[in-house]
Amino acid sequence: MTQRAKIDTDGPEPPGAGGQGGPLIDAGAELDPVHPVPPPVQHRSGGLTAAEVAERVARGEVNDVPVRSSRSAVDIVRGNVFTRFNAIIGILWVIMLIVAPIQDSLFGFVIVANTGIGIIQELRAKKTLDGLAVIGETKPTVRRDGTAAEVHTSEIVLGDCIELGPGDKVVVDGEVAESDGLEIDESLLTGEADPVLKKRGDQVMSGSFVVAGTGAFTATKVGREAYAAQLAEEASRFTLVHSELRSGISMILKYVTWMMVPTSIALIISQLVVKDTDFKRSVARTVGGIVPMIPEGLVLLTSVAFAIGVIRLGRKQCLVQELPAIEGLARVDVVCLDKTGTLTEGGMDVTELRTLDGADEEYVRAVLGALGESDPRPNASLQAIIDTYPDGGDWRCTQALPFSSARKYSGATFSEGDGQSSTWLLGAPDVLLPDGDPVLDEIEELNQQGLRVLLLSRARGELDDPDVAGNARAAALVVLEQRLRPDASDTLAYFADQNVDAKILSGDNAVSVGAVASKLGLPGADRTVDARRLPAERDAMATVLDEGAVFGRVTPQQKRDMVGALQAHGHTVAMTGDGVNDVLALKDADIGVSMGSGSEATKAVAQIVLLDNSFATLPSVVAEGRRVIGNITRVATLFLTKTVYSVLLAILVVCFGMEYPFLPRHLTLLSTLTIGVPAFFLALAPNKERARPHFVRRVMRYAIPGGIIAAAATFTTYLLAAHHYSGPGALAAETSAATLTLFLVSIWVLAIIARPYTWWRIALVAVMGGAFLVVLVVPWLQNFFALRLVGTTMPWTAVAIAAVGAAVLELAWRWVSRKVPAADGDPAAAGSTRS
């Protein structure tokens, strides 16, 4: 009889489970053939010897494909240093170091500091991610010197004998050496959803995964020669791209570049040719007009916000395999949960054994013990049966039918001690029993208590008979109690509070799942649906999904279809799971979340892995995503308002043939106090509002009117000051008045962005205003920044113009907010975000 292998709780769930198994057959399709039990372990291949392994390593025949969870340190430095805007600012900085005082070169030092901060934070995030990736790595089992041991994927060599079980991913190409009902899903490579039955001598490809049965294969291609090696490397790499937030920022920067180039050229010509002024002063003021057009800190703050989010989540044992997943989960409005392994813990307990139709209890116990011993990779339910009925007697298993989530049952044929032969099935009662059977009423009562019930039945035919389940005779009910996760109730309550609909998709009985959901307080837990009665048409399915909350008897293919139906109705869907029957749905969902104890296949396709198996970590991921998106939307408005007013001021200066009013030191001061420092704090503040689409549109809706008003108010003050002042120090006085107006309007933009107010937000705005006041009253700072208010008439006029500009700005943004609901997460929608 087959030796029982090491227990793997990542294997497929038993009949009725929603946590494991795989997409095997369509309803009504012919059953997979049964398979003889393999010979005892001692007769199997012992694998390579240590000497053979060393020889292959020396020849370079090793699986040396690098699997990285983050960008390399070189890529991080290159990505932060060699940017388009850093190049522009670098050139301007060198020019200013040559022609102007050091005060006018401060913007260059700020960029150096910002770039350094970005590199340091991303390197910290890389260290966190790489450490978590090692913790979360699943090691394949390889036979060497006659024993099985776990090794790193990179240590596999050509010719290694690698064991496979339910949920295992095929890590290199190979040839099947042993097969015990081995069924492999190659859909991630070929797109074909139906699994392939693998026999000895068949080929297996890297990137596929086991959905049922066990076996072993010999590695024939390793490293970069393997079929999916490059694909796997690319898929597992930590990335900073392909997110709406970053794509939107890139689009904004592209448009900024297009505006900046002609405006800068016109400004250069006007300052150097049209105006008959000192060359160095003209250069300084030209650079002062170009530098603020560049929203140089926006990309930096986005990267820092994401990196800090990764670090925070890493401390909670959450591995973010793709950075945009943080952003994506924040946009989710429907989360599909697999009950087993997500809402319930892996372990179960047998609470009762009810014999049926006069069956002998002792005999039934022996059958259950034999079924337990026949499976080399028992899952949680079968392990509970093994723990309760450990003795299978001297029965010998001659044939086995692996469990699959599509069939909802498994089976085995035994040669009993007295020479008799019998065939048994263990699975979902409502699948093995005909409709109307009185036993189903008894089972319904148990399901309503949230208990899992398996039916043991004796088959009258052979396992390879397509109607074997229909001809079976019920022998006993095995009642199992599931262990609820202590944190599941609070997590479901969090999603309900955040207006995120939770849908439970389980392979278990719908009533049983509904009872579990009720215990956890899931809204709508009483609305249970048997997935076997779901309409196949996508729109009709989506309607049922919108109305229901608990779905039972869901097949793996249905999970995938249900995710697609929700997405087709405009939902952003997250899928959680830990078994191979969840893989296709995880892959298709907008965000896939796997438990750390889940199968290797699920962790390979998921964007987020909860290494500590804590469902309670999900709210933290959602919160980080919302913090990043909401806050970057806020600070982007600050940066782009500056870009808009800088471009408009340059255009007005060119049109009026005037000297540009500001030196670089003035705008460095303004940018630091009204954008740079406040944006850093605002970008890292709490933010719980659900993320909304159309990032660019929402930001520009506020930045454009804000920039226009700031530019108009500033230039008005500049024109009035030009007529008011005369003499050698006139330009400095005009600049000081214009700077005062621009600062006051900008600080009002900051005050609006900082809403809703908390003590620290009020303090932030107040400190920035106080810092500018210090510059105006301290003599050496006045000289350093070339700011000195002359007289009383023009300074107060500048204040009055700024007040009018702030009032117009307030009205304009309130009007925009009325046009766009506050729930869209717009930066100026006061009260839309609670912190």
570-599, pLDDT tens digit by residue?
A: 898 989 887 777 888 888 888 888 887 777
The amino acid present at 189, given as its one-letter code, is: L
- For residues 490-498, average pLDDT: 87
Which contiguous run of DSSP H or E holds residue 401?
strand 396-401
Distances (CA, A) of 68 to 124, 133, 230, 238, 592: 15, 8, 12, 7, 19
Verdict on whether the full-model pTM lies above 0.75: no
Asked if the model's pLDDT at residue 247 lies above 70, the reply is: yes
Nearby residues of 728 by Cβ (< 8 Å), 6 or more positions away: none
Asked if residue 182 lies in contact with residue 214, where contact means CB atoms within 8 angstroms, the answer is: yes
CATH of domain 35-68+138-235: 2.70.150.10
What integer pLDDT is reported at residue 3 of this predicted model? 34
What integer pLDDT is reported at residue 714 of this predicted model? 94
What integer pLDDT is reported at residue 750 of this predicted model? 93
- For residues 783-788, average pLDDT: 88
What integer pLDDT is reported at residue 23 of this predicted model? 32
710 — pLDDT class (breaks 50, 70, 90):
very high
Point out the least confidently predicted range of 86-100, 178-192, 571-585, 628-642: 178-192
| Furthest CA-CA distance within the chain | 119
What integer pLDDT is reported at residue 323 of this predicted model? 67
227 — pLDDT class (breaks 50, 70, 90):
low
Question: pLDDT digits over 453-462, tens only?
Answer: 888 888 877 7
Distances (CA, A) of 28 to 17, 19, 466, 467, 562: 20, 22, 10, 11, 20
Chosen CATH of 240-312+622-824 out of 1.20.1110.10, 3.40.50.150, 3.10.450.50, 1.10.540.10: 1.20.1110.10
Distances (CA, A) of 779 to 426, 543, 773: 88, 70, 12
Pairwise pLDDT comparison (404 vs 140), residue with the higher score: 140
Point out the least confidently predicted range of 314-318, 357-361, 400-404: 400-404
Superfamily of domain 347-483: Calcium-transporting ATPase, cytoplasmic domain N (3.40.1110.10)
3 state SS of 527: coil
> Which one, of 378, 379, 372, 377, lies nearest residue 395 by Cα?
372
> Which is the catalytic residue, given 104, 338, 508, 826?
338
Structure tokens at 225: 């020669």
Q: Return the top range by mean pLDDT from 81-85, 322-326, 484-488.
A: 484-488
The amino acid present at 793, given as its one-letter code, is: T
- For residues 276-280, average pLDDT: 66
What integer pLDDT is reported at residue 371 of this predicted model? 84
Asked if residue 207 lies in contact with residue 227, where contact means CB atoms within 8 angstroms, the answer is: yes
823 — pLDDT class (breaks 50, 70, 90):
very low
740 — pLDDT class (breaks 50, 70, 90):
very high
Distances (CA, A) of 574 to 421, 504, 528, 629, 690: 48, 12, 20, 17, 14
Asked if the model's pLDDT at residue 1 lies above 50, the reply is: no
Which contiguous run of DSSP H or E holds residue 178?
strand 173-185
Asked if the model's pLDDT at residue 829 lies above 70, the reply is: no
What integer pLDDT is reported at residue 194 of this predicted model? 67
What integer pLDDT is reported at residue 71 of this predicted model? 66
What integer pLDDT is reported at residue 223 of this predicted model? 80
Asked if residue 402 lies in contact with residue 183, where contact means CB atoms within 8 angstroms, the answer is: yes
Pairwise pLDDT comparison (405 vs 440), residue with the higher score: 440
Point out the least confidently predicted range of 62-66, 585-589, 754-758, 813-817: 62-66
Q: In what order do the strands lie in the sheet with 608-610?
A: 318-320, 608-610, 591-595, 573-577, 334-337, 501-505, 550-552, 528-530
566 — pLDDT class (breaks 50, 70, 90):
very high
Find the length of the chain.
835
Please confirm, yes or no, whether 338 is among the known catalytic residues: yes
Q: How many CB atoms lie within 10 A of CB 369?
A: 19
- For residues 710-727, average pLDDT: 91
Q: For the chain, give the mean pLDDT.
A: 79
Point out the least confidently predicted range of 110-114, 592-596, 629-633, 791-795: 110-114
Asked if the model's pLDDT at residue 437 lies above 60, the reply is: yes
| Chain-centroid distance, C-alpha 626 | 12
8-state DSSP, 673: I
Asked if residue 620 lies in contact with residue 683, where contact means CB atoms within 8 angstroms, the answer is: no
Domain 317-343+485-613 CATH class label: alpha beta
Structure tokens at 679: 């944006």
Side-chain half-sphere exposure of 664, counting CA atoms within 13 A: 28
Structure tokens at 649: 């001021």
The amino acid present at 126, given as its one-letter code, is: K
Domain boundaries, the chain: 35-68+138-235, 240-312+622-824, 317-343+485-613, 347-483
As a whole number of angstroms, the distance between CA 294 and CA 744 comes to: 21
What integer pLDDT is reported at residue 228 of this predicted model? 56
